[in-house]
Chain A
Amino acid sequence: DTEVTQTPKHLVMGMTNKKSLKCEQHMGHRAMYWYKQKAKKPPELMFVYSYEKLSINESVPSRFSPECPNSSLLNLHLHALQPEDSALYLCASSQEGSRINQPQHFGDGTRLSIL
């Protein structure tokens, strides 16, 4: 069983649509992450939340808007996306490490296609 759950699994949207990706974990992890992964490429870090506060934004365009409503949920709001934003979007979570980072657990991802 996947401990990090992402919905939807697939999403097709037009460039003018607004949609949201959702991620949920119940492992008590206090760090949550969004990654973007293109085919045959490594995951690219987009955002990190630590204790429900945004701690890292890797210069992601404002058409991607993250939100962490509580310690178990992570959303990624999408608006006015471009065709090059088509990719697999992965959510991950980990325990918060005081000096050394902890293992990340990934969800199955949302495969996003922009028409």
Chain B
Amino acid sequence: GENVEQHPSTLSVQEGDSAVIKCTYSDSASNYFPWYKQELGKRPQLIIDIRSNVGEKKDQRIAVTLNKTAKHFSLHITETQPEDSAVYFCAASKTGNQFYFGTGTSLTVIP
């Protein structure tokens, strides 16, 4: 099965700085990579995703990059704000609706 590793497990940044979270996956058949933000006591919410035929995708302050050869993908958040504080999960999936989540990164943005 798929093994998704995520680093770091915790991350603290000053407001306005950038945050980077990295994930690696093991199954070369994985072709869709979503990122979720989960605030305490709430549901995971999709914030950005990338497909295997694309190397980079950006949505305002959030960007994701994918290196298929190395089997890793990263989330970049620029100009961080206190409301960005949450747990972030990466996931990898392949055809057949199989989704496997990384272990999560707890991001704290210090005002």
Contacts and interface: CB of A to CB of B under 8 A. Distances in A.
A90 interface: yes
B80 interface: no
A106 B45 contact: yes
Main secondary structure of the interface of A (DSSP, over half): loop
Contacts, number: 66
Interface residues of A, number: 28
Counting contact residues on chain B (CB < 8 A from A), the size range is 20 to 34
B68 interface: no
B interface, over-half SS: strand
A30 to B, nearest CB: 10
Contact of A50 (B45, B89, B94, B97): B97
A21 interface: no
A52 to B, nearest CB: 13
24 contacts: A31-B97, A33-B97, A33-B99, A40-B104, A41-B104, A42-B89, A45-B99, A48-B98, A55-B96, A56-B97, A56-B98, A90-B44, A97-B95, A99-B31, A99-B95, A101-B31, A101-B32, A101-B94, A101-B96, A101-B98, A101-B99, A103-B49, A104-B99, A105-B46
